Amino acid sequence: LTERLQDAMKKLRRKGKITESDVREMMREIRLALLEADVNFNVVKDFTKRVSDRAVGSEVLDTLTSAQQIVKIVDEELTATLGQEAVPLNKSPKIPTVIMVSGLQGAGKTTFVGKLANFLKKNNDARPLLIAGDVYRPAAIEQLKVIGQQIDVPVFDMGTDVSPVEIVRQGMALAQEQKNDYVFIDTAGRLHIDDVLMNELKEIKELATPDEILLVVDAMTGQDAVNVAESFNEQLSITGVVVTKLDGDTRGGAALSIRAVTGKPIKFVGTGEKLTDIEVFHPDRMSGRILGMGDMLTLIEKAQQDYDEQKAEELALKMQENTFDFNDFIEQFDQLQNMGSFEDIIKMIPGMNNIPGMDKVQIDPKDIERKKAMVYSMTPEERVNPDLLNPSRRRRIAAGSGNSVVQVNQMIKQFKESKKMMQQMSSGKMPAGMDQMFG
Ligand code: GDP
Ligand code: MG
C-alpha cells in the first residue's frame, strides 16, 4: 500500500497506551491509505468500521496495555477480509483435474499456466497436459510451447485455424487417453471484456466442465482488476483468483478488494516473470505485506507456539549470564527448523525485504546440517568453552565432521556473532546484522 499506512502504524507502535482519539486518527489514516491504494470504497468502509468497533469496544480500551494490540486487530481484520485461510486447489475425484484460466490480455494467464503446471509437477509428481486455446495470436501458441519445453510438460495445439472449443475437445480426449492427471486450458484474452470473449469462454466451460475456473488478474491494474473480477465472476462463476505481478510496486490493494467483492478465494499469486515465481496465497502474509511490516505478527505467534517456553527462558538466562555456548547454538537451529523454512522466516522479519539482495538469500538446510555435524564433533568441554578451540582442536573437528578447517573457522565465527547478537537482544536492542544468525 502506501507509506501513509506504515507511518500511521509506526506512530502507533511508538505509543504506549492509546486513546479513543488515537484510534480515530489511525482509522482516518488507514481509510486514506486504502483508498489511495485503489481499494474499493465499500470495502474500505466496511473494513475500517470493523476495526474501529473492535478497537473502541471494550475488547481493547479497557484492558489495553500496548498499541501492539490495535496493530494486531488491523492485521486480523485484514486477514479476514483477504479470506482468512489459504484455499487449496480443487481436485477432481477422477483424473484429469481440469483447470481453465481466464482473464484479460496480458494479465499473465499463459505464464501462470506454466507456473502452476511446473509447481504441481515438482510438488505433486503431476503429469499435466497444457492445451493451447488462444488461437487469436500465433505468438500465443508459440509462447505456451516454449514454456512447455522449459518445464518439460507436453502442449497440445492445433494451430490457429481451429476453434478453441474444438481444440479443447480434442485436447481433453488426448488427456483421457494419456491419463494425464491435470489438464490446463489456456484461453485468449482481450483488452476489454466483450461478449465474444465471454461466449467463447462459456462454451469452453460447458464442454470441459473445469474443476477450477481461475481468473488471472494483474495486481498493477488496481481498481480495474476489481471490475474485471466482478464481471468475470458474474458471467463465468469463477472458482478462484490468481493475482499476478505482485512483485511490482503494488502492495496488494487489488487483492483486498477482489476477495471482498467477488467472495471468491485468491489461490495463487505471481511474484515475477520466472516460472518458479508462484506462491500459494496466504491471507495472513498478504495482510503483513499490506501493512508493510512483514509478517512480524505471524512470526511472533508462530514463535510463541513453536518455541518451548521453558527453553526460551533458559536461553534468556544464559544470555544474561553470558554462558551461551555451542549447545545453545545448535539448539537455535533446531528451533528455527521447527518454525518453518528459513526463507519464510527471513521474509517475515520487517525490513528484510527492503535490504537489497535480501530476497535472494537462500538458506541451505544442508549448511545447517553441516554446522550441526561440526558441533557434534566437539567434546562436551569444547561445546561449553569455546576458548579451548585452538588450531589443533579445530583440525580434529574438521576431520571428524568431514569439513575443512576453513569451514570450521567460519562456523566458530558465526557462533561468536550469534552470541554477540543474543547479548544485544537480551539487553533490549535490535541487533544489527540479524541475518548473521542464519548463516
Ligand atoms: P496473458 O496474455 O494473460 O497470457 O499474459 P502472459 O502470460 O503472456 O503475460 C504477460 C506479461 O506479463 C509477460 O511479459 C509475462 O512475463 C509477464 N508476467 C506474468 N506474470 C508475471 C508476474 O507475476 N510478475 C511479473 N513481473 N511479470 C509477469
Ligand atoms: Mg496468453
Q: What is the pLDDT of residues 14-35, one digit of tens each?
A: 655 567 777 777 778 778 777 7
Atom of ligand 1 nearest to the CA of 248: 26
Tens of pLDDT along 228-270? 999 999 999 999 999 999 886 665 677 788 988 899 999 999 9
Q: How many CB atoms lie within 10 A of CB 311?
A: 13
**Which ligand is closest in space to the CA of residue 104?**
1
Tens of pLDDT along 351-393? 444 444 544 444 567 888 888 899 989 998 898 888 899 999 9
The string over 297-307, giving b where at least 16 C-beta atoms fall within 10 Å of a residue's C-beta and e elsewhere, is bbbeebbeeee
Please report which confidence band the pLDDT of residue 303 belongs to, taking 50, 70 and 90 as the band edges: very low
Query: In angstroms, what is the span from residue 87 Cα to ligand 1's centroid?
Result: 23
Residue 183 has pLDDT above 80, yes or no: yes
Q: How far apart are CA 289 and CA 193, in angstroms?
A: 30
User: Cα–Cα distances in Å, from 7 out to 30, 55, 65, 291?
Assistant: 10, 19, 21, 10
The alpha carbon torsion through 188, 194, 199, 204 (nearest 10 deg) reads 20
User: Which domains are present in the chain?
Assistant: 3-81 (1.20.120.140), 97-291 (3.40.50.300), 296-438 (1.10.260.30)
Report the nearest-CA residue for atom 16 of ligand 1: 273
Is-above-0.95 flag for pTM?
no
Using DSSP's 3-state secondary structure scheme, residue 242 falls into: strand
pLDDT: which is higher, 303 or 173: 173
**Which ligand is closest in space to the CA of residue 132?**
2
Give the cell for residue 44. Answer: 474500505
Using DSSP's 3-state secondary structure scheme, residue 173 falls into: helix
**In whole numbers, what is the pLDDT of the chain averaged over residues?**
81
Q: In this predicted structure, what is the pLDDT of residue 205? A: 97
Q: Would you say the CB of residue 175 lies under 6 angstroms from ligand 1?
A: no
Mutate which of 105, 135, 273 for ligand 1 pocket (most atoms within 8 A of beta carbon): 273
Q: Would you say the CB of residue 142 lies under 6 angstroms from ligand 1?
A: no
Q: In this predicted structure, what is the pLDDT of residue 301? A: 45
Binding residues for GTP: 103-110, 186-190, 244-247
pLDDT: which is higher, 8 or 120: 120
Query: In angstroms, what is the span from residue 214 Cα to ligand 2's centroid?
Result: 14
Q: How many CB atoms lie within 10 A of CB 334?
A: 12
Mutate which of 110, 111, 130, 137 for ligand 1 pocket (most atoms within 8 A of beta carbon): 111
